[in-house]
Amino acid sequence: MTALRPLRWAFVWMVARKELLSTVRDRRTLTSSVLMPLLLIPLFTVGFPLLLNRAFSGQGEDRQKVGVIGTLPDALRRTLTLDRGRERGVQLLPVTDAVRAVQDGTVQAVLSVPSPLPTRAGAGSGRVDLYARLGNLKAESGVISKLRAALEAYNGDLVRADLRARGLPDTYLTPVTVQEHDASRPQEAASGQLAFIIPMFLLQFILAGGTATAIDSTAGEKERGTLEVLLVSPVRRAEVVVGKLLATTCTALTSAAFGLLGLLLSGPVATLFLKSQVSRVSSTLGGQLNVSAGSLGVLVLMALSAALLLSALLIAVSIFARSFREAQTYITPVSLLIVIPAVGLQFADFIGRSAGLYAIPLVNAMVVILDVVKGSLSVPMALLAAGVNLLVTVALVLLALRSFGREQVIFRT
């Protein structure tokens, strides 16, 4: 019956203020809640494209060793070894065993020619066997890409020479060309292929921001022996739970707010500091936020509902721990509730949007955030997701309140 009495908000805010002051005094918590979200996302969205661009351009500027079995036409040899601006050709070396030469690192790829290749179009066809580590990203983006381009260029040269000899234009074999135009929404274009990292980052920052406060206000107080003093004070246990929930939610939302600010800053930072060719990589990969004021309001709503749910879950779990370290052990699997669905969001385009998907706690928040960043927001589904998260929050708060009322939990040693 005590839990049904009206809350005395003065006591609730007193408990919340005490926990927030304890959090503010911990510089490590402030670093993880403020600096990490604010700096990590811009560094990722700027640094990751920069590293990729350096890796890909480095492959183009390297002269890879390519083994040859058989005889290559002189024109094809020139095409393979020719330098084109900053992109260098390959170095051709004779080998006898293609597979062994690639596996032991003597060469990065091997071209095997079982029979003489044609030197003009219409003089029959030939086959070139390419041996390389086909599943290796470095090989695919480097030597394999060069070899495919060179062979395609050689075929094109033969066909164009034959067309000119017949008095036909180069476009004779391609009467229809395709020009692609991006019809994506501006938000979807900004988010790009890394759109799934935005909801993952936001919820991870919410979890990281609330974890320290939740553990310190439950298991930490049990370890210091101050929780018992608080529970015998005039403050009701429901007010203690709600106060700790508010404090945990505040720190979680603070972390999410700085994470959101980092996402908003990532676009201007990328444009300002990255070169044009790196910016193209960045725009393709995305991972940036471009939303309207209304969509930003939905983001805040989903962040609030997710923060309340995660805060209630953290408190409900941490109260069972006997020490700070034990609470950290209990909470570690909670991150999997975010990471695993976030990885699945990479394939969100293949997942049908149904009401059932938006009724899954936490997952629904990530799906709605992904909808927002891609410009495909459904307001009714967002409200459904927020409502489900709030209902689960209430259930977890009741569970935490029940635990606070059990002496075997509070005085567990």
Cβ within 8 Å of residue 65, ≥6 positions away:
90, 91, 93, 106, 107, 108
For the cut 90, the answer to whether the pLDDT of residue 40 exceeds it is no
Cα separation, 413 vs 394, in Å, equals 28
CA–CA gap between residue 106 and residue 140 (Å, rounded):
17
The string of pLDDT tens digits covering residues 372-407 is 887 788 889 999 999 999 999 999 999 888 887 776
CA 94 to chain centre: 44
Q: Is the pLDDT of residue 2 over 50?
A: no
Closest CA to 111 of 74, 155, 77: 77
CA 326, distance to chain mean position in Å, is: 29
Distance CA 116, CA 71 (A): 7
Cβ of 266: how many Cβ atoms within 10 Å? 23
The structural domains of the chain, ordered by start, are: 2-53+189-410 (no CATH), 64-173 (3.40.190)
Q: Which of 20-29, 274-283, 392-401 has the highest mean pLDDT?
A: 392-401
Partners of 112 in beta bridges: 69, 129
Q: Tell me, what's the pLDDT at 359?
A: 92
In this model, does residue 332 exceed pLDDT 80? yes
Task: Render pLDDT for 57-78 as a digit per residue (tens, 0 to 9).
Answer: 656 667 889 999 998 999 999 9
CA distance 194 to 187: 12
Per-residue exposure over 342-356, b if at least 16 CB sit within 10 Å of its own CB, e if not = beebeebeeeeeeee
